[in-house]
Chains A and B, each alone.
Chain A
Amino acid sequence: MRMENNVQDKIAAAASTDQAATVADKINLEGASKTFHMRGQVIRALQAIDLSVRREEFVALVGPSGCGKSTILNLVAGLLPPSAGTVLYDGRPVRDLNRRVGYMTQKDTLLPWRRAADNIRVALELRCRPTSHSEADEKVARMMELVGLKGFENHYPSELSGGMRKRTLLARTLIYEPETLLMDEPFGALDAQLKLIMLDQLQALTQQRRITVLFVTHDLGEAITLADRVVVFSARPGRIRAIRNIDLPRPRDVFRIRFTDVFARYHEELWDVLKDEVTKGTDI
């Protein structure tokens, strides 16, 4: 009996220290890797990686295309189980779909039969988020204005440009204020000016609402502008090549920060790491 108690105590103690170690982290990947089996071929999308994202931290993942950045988001969202290792969210393994995150995928997942405003509203119509009609109207109107889609409320997705659809998706993801945002190249399709405006708004929103962000991009400048930490990945199979803290004060002026010396130094340093991988990536 005594021995059993002892063992139980030890387990409890171990559990509590585990809890203490992970509670500050929102997201924790521990040796998480992913391999796909496709037509008899084994594709290693992601090598075992360790990565933790602190609460309210903005982490940008950069790397050549096909390096498994999106796979990491899918693991955190619970859309894919890791082939090995664990993925923790709030210290608990992600088993099923992770409903605490808002996921803006690269793919356009607007509902084609709903107008722009109704697409943005959809999350507020769900039972898990009881919202009065007038409150939803007001939120949708505010969101549409924020992403610069005022006047396009009644357009169907097929009647919007690629950039507008992206902004509609962003608004749809932000409107229900998820505590964590997973973003997969959200502004890839936007023109340079609009992209800066969106970056500015994203920064303001995530700061104001204390959102944790995991942001995948191929644009190093975008990553440095927004992130607290930039993680550079190697070409496939993805591996972390470098992690760099970006110690730029907030709020950052997204329109001018790219002309500062500090920014240039970060950019040069990270680009040196990235460029080898990009050239490797294009060989594949």
Chain B
Amino acid sequence: MSGEVMTRTAALPGQTEAEEDVTPEPQGTMSMRYMVIARIMLVAAMFGAWEFAPVSRGIKFWLSSPSAILSTLWGWMVDGSLWAHLGATLSVMVTGYVLGCAVGISLGLLFGFLPRVYRVLVPFIAAFYALPKIALAPLFIILLGIGMSSKVALVAITVFFLLLNSTIDGVRDVDRDLVQSLRLMGATRIEVLRKVLLPSALPWIFTGARISVRYAFTATLLAELIAANRGLGFLIEFNSGNFNATGSYAAIVVLVAFSVTLTEILTRVQAMTAMHRN
């Protein structure tokens, strides 16, 4: 601060413009700080109202309160059950997601590569894409049992169609002139795929991958709600089944934290890779 004052006093008269250039930042950082403070206050007000709302004990039972939710969460953390449920959900979701992404992207690139095959298959893909995948959950349960594999299958198939479509869209969006110029240089089809189609479709694939995280999460949760003995979905279902509203809220809080973290990670990854594209 003192350095800034020094330079300002040392500046020659008639340099008012330069002087103004020195001090524009504080306003930006201040407004950022205000925004954060406003958000904290908003959250505090909400939780305060929730905590101290003058309602009857009966309603309180269904409404629960932040302090009760926090203590339930604390209890789950201490006895380790939270981590077990979180781990179960995470492993179903990640396995299904990775599987769905891998197959979806590979087939999408393959169809981009073999447009004639794709044209034959379009109506079938469209039909399956339109189908709400959750309708398949009971089928997967009788086919694969109540364990992890039926849930993984549901997540994988949900993610698969999303990634398949965004990859195909990405490949179709490729500038044909770029492909042609590389072919003229003597590139093989595989080289065109690696050097043009894939990098060009990458933003589309990333968008698809980011969007499908939410779908994967939803699918995992629904599968767990339908039939499971562990996982966050089970936790909600189980607590609701026992009329434990606090437990359900606590599980939902975990879910929110979980999904925000996931989306944030993916947004950062995408920002990093897409930095230099025009």
Contacts and interface: CB of A to CB of B under 8 A. Distances in A.
Interface of A: 77, 79, 97-99, 101-103, 105, 107, 109, 111-113, 122-123, 125-129, 156-158, 176
B91 to A, nearest CB: 34
B48 interface: no
Interface in B158-191: 175, 177-178, 180-188, 191
A156 B276 contact: yes
B84 to A, nearest CB: 43
Binding site secondary structure of chain A: loop
24 contacts: A97-B183, A97-B184, A98-B184, A99-B184, A99-B185, A101-B184, A103-B181, A103-B184, A105-B177, A105-B181, A107-B177, A109-B181, A111-B178, A111-B195, A112-B277, A122-B185, A122-B195, A126-B186, A126-B191, A128-B186, A129-B186, A157-B278, A158-B276, A158-B277
B188 A109 contact: no
B75 interface: no
A205 B120 CA distance: 49
B176 to A, nearest CB: 10
Contacts of B276: 113, 156, 158
Contacts of A113: 199-200, 202, 276-277
Interface string B85-124: 0000000000000000000000000000000000000000
A158 B181 CA distance: 19
Nearest to B192: A126
B196 interface: yes
Contacts of A158: 276-278
A131 B181 CA distance: 20
Nearest to A123: B185
A126 B278 CA distance: 25
Contacts of A77: 184
Given A107-B177, A113-B276, A126 B187 contact: yes
Interface string B67-94: 0000000000000000000000000000
Interface in B30-76: none
Nearest to B196: A111
A79 B180 contact: yes
A157 B175 CA distance: 15
A69 to B, nearest CB: 18
B270 to A, nearest CB: 14
B269 to A, nearest CB: 16
B184 to A, nearest CB: 5
A129 B183 CA distance: 13
A87 B184 CA distance: 17
A77 to B, nearest CB: 6
Contacts of A129: 186
Name the residue in B191, B200, B276 with the highest tally of chain A Cβ atoms < 10 Å from its Cβ.
B276
Given A113-B276, A158-B276, A99 B177 contact: no
Given A109-B175, A125-B195, 4 more contacts: A77-B184, A111-B196, A127-B188, A156-B278
A112 B185 contact: no
